[in-house]
Structure 1
Amino acid sequence: MHNPQWLRSFATVASTGGFTRAAHALGLTQAAVSQHVRHLEAEFGPLFIRRPRQIELTPAGVALLAYVEDTARAERRLRASLSDADTDVGEVSFITPGSVGLALYPILLDYQHNHPGLCIRHRFAPDPDILQAVLQKQYELGLVTLRPEDPRLVATPFTEESLELVVPAGENVEQWPDLQRLGFIDHPDGRGMATRLLSRRYPGNPGIGTLPVHGFTNQVALILEPVARGLGFTVIPRHARESFAHPEALRVVDCGDPVIDTLWLIHRAEWPLSGQARWLVEQLRGVPRFQQRRS
Structure 2
Amino acid sequence: MFNALYFRTFITLVETGSFTRTAQRLEMTQPGVSQHVRKLENYLDKTLLERKGRSFTLTESGRRAYDYALKLFAEHEQFRHGLDDDSLDSGECRIASPGSVGLMFYPFILGQQQMHPNLTVNYSFAFNHEIVNDLLEGRYDIGIVTEAVNHPDLTCTLWHKEPLCLVVPADFAGNTLSDLMGIGFLNYYDGINHANTLLRTNYPGEFRSMTHFRYQGFTNEVSMVLDAVARGLGFTVVSLLVLETSPWQRQVKALTLPHAVNEELYLLRRRDSVLPKRYEKLLEGFCKQRIQERTPLIPE
Q: Which runs of 5+ in 1 are unaligned?
A: none
TM-score (normalizing by structure 1): 0.78
CA distance in 1 between counterparts of 2:230 and 2:196 reads 22
Q: 1:4 is matched with which residue?
A: 4
**How far is the alpha carbon of 1:59 from its aligned partner?**
2.6
Q: 1:52 is matched with which residue?
A: 53
Q: Tell me, yes or no, if the aligned pair for 2:81 and 2:118 is still in contact at 8 Å.
A: no
- Seen in structure 2, the aligned counterparts of structure 1 residues 217 and 113 have a Cα distance that, compared at 3 Å, is same
Q: 2:79 is matched with which residue?
A: 78
Matched, 1:172 2:201: no
Q: 1:278 is matched with which residue?
A: 280
Matched, 1:269 2:271: yes
**How far is the alpha carbon of 1:253 from its aligned partner?**
6.5
- Seen in structure 2, the aligned counterparts of structure 1 residues 171 and 105 have a Cα distance that, compared at 3 Å, is farther
- Seen in structure 2, the aligned counterparts of structure 1 residues 24 and 171 have a Cα distance that, compared at 3 Å, is same
**How far is the alpha carbon of 1:105 from its aligned partner?**
4.0
**How far is the alpha carbon of 1:73 from its aligned partner?**
0.9
Matched, 1:232 2:234: yes
Letter in 2 for 1:281: L
CA distance in 2 between counterparts of 1:282 and 1:193 reads 25
CA distance in 1 between counterparts of 2:196 and 2:59 reads 69
CA distance in 2 between counterparts of 1:242 and 1:68 reads 45
Matched, 1:68 2:69: yes
Q: Deviations over 1:130-187 (max 9, x none)?
A: 23444444443321123333444332211234544322243314345x4453133233
Q: 1:40 is matched with which residue?
A: 40
CA distance in 1 between counterparts of 2:240 and 2:122 reads 24
Q: Tell me, yes or no, if the aligned pair for 1:167 and 1:227 is still in contact at 8 Å.
A: yes
The partner residue of 1:220 within 214, 219, 222 is 222
> Map of 1:84-123 to 2, 5 A cutoff?
86-112=87-113, 118-123=119-124
Q: Secondary structure at the match of 1:286?
A: helix
- Seen in structure 2, the aligned counterparts of structure 1 residues 136 and 13 have a Cα distance that, compared at 3 Å, is farther
Q: Secondary structure at the match of 1:223?
A: helix
Comparing 185-194 and 3-12, the one that deviates more:
185-194
Matched, 1:14 2:14: yes
- Seen in structure 2, the aligned counterparts of structure 1 residues 38 and 151 have a Cα distance that, compared at 3 Å, is farther
Q: 2:296 is matched with which residue?
A: none
Q: 1:146 is matched with which residue?
A: 147
Q: Tell me, yes or no, if the aligned pair for 2:194 and 2:263 is still in contact at 8 Å.
A: no
Letter in 2 for 1:252: L
CA distance in 2 between counterparts of 1:268 and 1:217 reads 31
- Seen in structure 2, the aligned counterparts of structure 1 residues 28 and 158 have a Cα distance that, compared at 3 Å, is same
Q: Tell me, yes or no, if the aligned pair for 2:192 and 2:210 is still in contact at 8 Å.
A: no
CA distance in 2 between counterparts of 1:150 and 1:3 reads 48
- Seen in structure 2, the aligned counterparts of structure 1 residues 150 and 61 have a Cα distance that, compared at 3 Å, is farther
Letter in 1 for 2:39: H
Q: Secondary structure at the match of 1:278?
A: helix
Q: Deviations over 1:244-292 (max 9, x none)?
A: 462683133648684x5431112333342212222223323434639xx
**How far is the alpha carbon of 1:127 from its aligned partner?**
1.4
CA RMSD, Structure 1 to Structure 2 (Å): 3.6
- Seen in structure 2, the aligned counterparts of structure 1 residues 140 and 172 have a Cα distance that, compared at 3 Å, is same
Q: 1:185 is matched with which residue?
A: 186
Q: Percent identity?
A: 34
- Seen in structure 2, the aligned counterparts of structure 1 residues 250 and 145 have a Cα distance that, compared at 3 Å, is same
Q: 1:27 is matched with which residue?
A: 27
Comparing 44-53 and 146-155, the one that deviates more:
146-155
Q: Tell me, yes or no, if the aligned pair for 1:194 and 1:235 is still in contact at 8 Å.
A: yes
- Seen in structure 2, the aligned counterparts of structure 1 residues 205 and 264 have a Cα distance that, compared at 3 Å, is closer
Comparing 106-115 and 149-158, the one that deviates more:
106-115
Give the paired residue count: 290
Q: 1:156 is matched with which residue?
A: 157
Q: Tell me, yes or no, if the aligned pair for 1:141 and 1:265 is still in contact at 8 Å.
A: yes
Q: Secondary structure at the match of 2:255?
A: strand
The partner residue of 1:207 within 207, 211, 215 is 211
Q: Deviations over 1:70-119 (max 9, x none)?
A: 12111221232333665234444432222233343454455455656655
TM-score (normalizing by structure 2): 0.77
